[in-house]
Amino acid sequence: MLQKSILEKKIKRVTLFGNPVKQSLSPLIHQYFSKETGVLYQYTLCLCTEENFFLKISNFFKNGGIGANITVPFKKKIFSVPHIINKFSRISKTVNTLIKCSNNKIIGDNTDGLGLLYDLKNLFIFKKNTTVLLLGAGGAATSVIYHLLMENCLIYISNRTLMKSKILIKQFKKFGKIFIFEEYKCSQIFDIIINATSSGLYGSYPIFPLSVLHHDIFCYDISYNKNGNLTPFLKLCKNYGVKNFSDGLGMLVAQAAYSFFAWFKIMPNIQSTIMFIRSLNEKLL
Ligand code: ATR
């Protein structure tokens, strides 16, 4: 039920729809954005099922919601809902941000790819033909492929369900070099591995040949642990001697900042927000 005070004060409302959502750092990130920019809004979480997802979204906008984020496992499912689809959503057929316009039309956008690039560019030096092993072929993987291809990356996809990798190759091959990762045929030495599976949410990591790990590789997990601990994927990489790695906190904050910009036309400070969240984790340890 909507709190009376919110309606009375007309505080703008934004919600994250997904399943699970309780692990999300997004409310903390948005509280920080709100303080830093002076934009008054409330960011809440909404746990949905496959059955009630569309109804919950529709009720939220009917009741005055001005924007939303969509997370696992609904980034593809939501694609049919918005009246207008922005470029990155159109290409990836995924949506992580909904924006309600003054004429009540809903715009669908995806800020994940921009968020990943922002963070990777801080942590890693792209070269021409950077070789990427991308683990996963769900909404998260799909959201970032176009941006990696625009950086001239060579992408090899490995996913538990092979058919989903094949669909992605078909969808993205017109934009650049993207292949199926086949362990026995691929003699490629990778510059970077990106874990874009949701396995971390369930305390595990995706299966991939550990022989691809080498001293100079950079391992990036697009997920993160709320308490700042290493994700299962990063723990594994570290145990196998990988020196350079990062969780996806930077990407999370950056994609949130681009969503915030889509709603309020102000860009919050990404670096200070990352530092704030990391400092909270340090206090917890
Ligand atoms: P998201 O929007 O976060 O990508 P999703 O669309 O549900 O969520 O996709 C989840 C991805 O993580 C899929 O690639 C899934 O593999 P399948 O396509 O085979 O389902 C992958 N995934 C989830 N749990 C996994 C696990 N334990 N090991 C390997 N891959 C896993």
Judged by phi (left if over 0) then psi (alpha if -120 to 50, else beta), residue 226 lies in alpha
Residue 134's pLDDT is what? 98
% pLDDT > 70, the chain: 96
Is the residue at 273 inside a domain? no
Residue 282's pLDDT is what? 73
Is the residue at 101 inside a domain? yes
191 and 66 fall within a common domain: no
- Tokens 């959502």 belong to 21
Q: Is 160 in the pocket of ligand 1 (CB under 6 A)?
A: yes
135 and 210 fall within a common domain: yes
For residue 7, pLDDT beyond 80:
no
Residue 228's pLDDT is what? 86
For residue 107, pLDDT beyond 90:
yes
Position 184 confidence tier, pLDDT thresholds 50, 70, 90: confident
Q: Is 132 in the pocket of ligand 1 (CB under 6 A)?
A: no
For residue 104, pLDDT beyond 90:
yes
98 and 129 fall within a common domain: no
Nearest-CA residue for atom 18 of ligand 1? 161
Q: Which domain holds residue 117?
A: 113-249
CA of 281 relative to ligand 1 center, distance in Å = 27
For the stretch 13-61, pLDDT in tens is 999 999 999 989 999 999 999 999 999 999 999 999 999 999 999 999 9
105 and 132 fall within a common domain: no
181 and 197 fall within a common domain: yes
- Tokens 């109804």 belong to 55
Q: Is 255 in the pocket of ligand 1 (CB under 6 A)?
A: no
102 and 119 fall within a common domain: no
CA of 199 relative to ligand 1 center, distance in Å = 6
99 and 188 fall within a common domain: no
Give the strand pairing for 154-158 and 106-109: unpaired
Angle between helices 270-284 and 249-264 (to 10 degrees): 130
User: Exposed, middle or buried by CB within 10 Å (0-12, 13-18, 19+), for 262?
Assistant: middle
Domain count, the chain: 2
- Using CA atoms, how far apart are residues 268 and 256, in angstroms rounded to an integer? 9
23 and 78 fall within a common domain: yes
Nearest-CA residue for atom 30 of ligand 1? 206
Active site residues: 75
Q: Is 139 in the pocket of ligand 1 (CB under 6 A)?
A: yes
CA of 39 relative to ligand 1 center, distance in Å = 35
Is the residue at 152 inside a domain? yes
Residue type, 240: Y
CATH of the domain at 164: 3.40.50.720
Residue 31's pLDDT is what? 97
> Is the alpha carbon torsion for 158, 72, 76, 89 positive or negative?
negative
Is the residue at 151 inside a domain? yes
CA angle 88/91/93 to nearest 5° reads 95
Is the residue at 280 inside a domain? no
User: Exposed, middle or buried by CB within 10 Å (0-12, 13-18, 19+), for 94?
Assistant: buried
Q: Is 198 in the pocket of ligand 1 (CB under 6 A)?
A: yes
88 and 209 fall within a common domain: no
47 and 120 fall within a common domain: no
CA angle 99/105/110 to nearest 5° reads 35
- Using CA atoms, how far apart are residues 191 and 92, in angstroms rounded to an integer? 24
123 and 234 fall within a common domain: yes
Point out the ligand 1 atom lying closest to the alpha carbon of residue 136. Answer: 14
Q: Is 167 in the pocket of ligand 1 (CB under 6 A)?
A: no
**C-alpha dist (Å) from residue 65 to 13, 15, 150, 224:** 5, 8, 34, 27
117 and 99 fall within a common domain: no
For residue 244, which phi and psi values (nearest 5 degrees)? -110, 115
CATH of the domain at 42: 3.40.50.10860
> pTM of the entire structure?
0.94
Q: Is 197 in the pocket of ligand 1 (CB under 6 A)?
A: yes
Ligand 1 binding pocket mutation candidate from 197, 207, 231, 252 (most atoms within 8 A of CB): 197
